[in-house]
Amino acid sequence: MSWAEHGLECERCDDAAAYVLGALEEHEADAYREHLAGCAICREEVGQLQAVADSLAVAVTRVVTPENLRARLMAVVNGEAELLNAAGYEADVPTPARRGRGWRLLPALAAAAALGVGILIGALAIGGGSTTTTRVVTATVVSPPGYRATAVVRRIGSHLELEVVGMPAPPRGRIYEVWLERGTQAPTPTDALFSVTHSGNGSVGLSSDLNGVSAVLVTNEPLGGSPKPTRTPVIVAHLS
C-alpha cells in the first residue's frame, strides 16, 4: 500500500516529476537528492514516475536530429512564455478543485508523454522508410522599419510548421494568429497562436485538413484569438 493511500504526503512531492524529467536547476536537483535520502514518500513518488519516463525512452528508435532542432524547440518554449506573461501571472494558477496530488503531476507527465510521442513520430518518419515529403515555402513578411523579419512554412503531409526569425513582438494585449485561406474564400481561423522571443524568433505547428488550402496567413489579434481577421496579414505564404 502506498503512502498516499495512508493519507500521507510530503510537500516536496511537487518536485518529483520535475526531478525525474531533469527540469530542476543543478542546485535544486542536488538539494532534492539530499531530501530523497530521508524521505520515503518522495522516493516512492520518484520511483513510480521514473518507470513512466524510462518506458518512453525504451520505445523510441534513436535517430540523428536536425542541427536546428534545439533552437526551434526553445523558440516555441520562449514564445509560450511570452504569451503567458502577456496573459498575466495567474493564467496558469490551478483552481482549488484542481490542487490535488494527482493534478500536480499532470503537466510534467503530459510533457513527457508529448515528448515521447513526438520523438516516436520523428523516428518513424526518418528511420521507418516513410515516403512523406517536406515542402518548404518562403513567406512574404511585412515588418516595420528596423526589422528584417523572415518566415518559412514547412508542409509535411497534413502538418504545417511556421518558423519566423527577426519578427517584432505583437502589440501589448495582442497575439499572432495563423489562418488558412482556400482560394477566394474568407480565411478560416486555426488554434495556432504564438508570440516571439526577445530576439524575434518563434515557431508554431498545426495539423489540419489542408485540402484546398492555397495560403497561410498571420495577423495580430486580441489575446485568445479572433473568429475572423481584424488586421491586415503580416505574413503570407502561398502554398499553391
For the chain, the 3-state helix, strand and coil shares in percent, each to the nearest 5, are 40, 20, 40
pLDDT single digits (tens) 207-223: 878 889 999 999 999 99
What sign does the CA torsion over 112, 115, 121, 122 have? negative
Q: How far apart are CA 113 and CA 212, in angstroms?
A: 32
Question: Residue 142's pLDDT is what?
Answer: 92
Q: What is the DSSP string of 189-225?
A: EEEEEE---TTS-EEEEEE---TT--EEEEEEEETT-
Question: Residue 7's pLDDT is what?
Answer: 55
The residue to which cell 513510480 is assigned: 48
pLDDT single digits (tens) 196-209: 998 899 999 888 78
Every domain of the chain and the residues it spans: 4-127, 134-238
Neighbours of 162 (CB within 10 A): 23
The three cell numbers locating residue 197: 522571443
Does the pLDDT of residue 193 top 90, yes or no?
yes
Q: What is the mean pLDDT of residues 166-180?
A: 93
Cα angle 223, 227, 230 (rounded to 5 degrees) comes to: 70
pLDDT single digits (tens) 33-56: 999 989 988 888 888 888 777 666
Question: Residue 80's pLDDT is what?
Answer: 63
Output DSSP code: residue 157.
Answer: T
Question: Residue 149's pLDDT is what?
Answer: 94
Secondary structure (3-state) at 3: coil
Output DSSP code: residue 15.
Answer: G
- Buried-state track 167-186, b at ≥16 Cβ within 10 A, e below 16: bebbeeebbbbbbbbbeeee
Question: Residue 132's pLDDT is what?
Answer: 63
What mean pLDDT, rounded, does the chain reach?
A: 77
Q: Which residues contact 52 (CB under 8 A, 6 or more apart)?
A: 109, 112
pLDDT single digits (tens) 110-142: 444 444 544 444 444 444 445 567 899 999 999
Question: Residue 198's pLDDT is what?
Answer: 87
CATH of 134-238, one of 2.60.40, 1.10.1200, 3.30.300, 3.10.450: 2.60.40
* Across 20-29, 125-134, 185-194, least confident range: 125-134
- What pTM, to 2 d.p., does this model score? 0.50
pLDDT single digits (tens) 51-98: 777 666 555 555 555 555 656 666 666 666 666 666 565 555 544 444
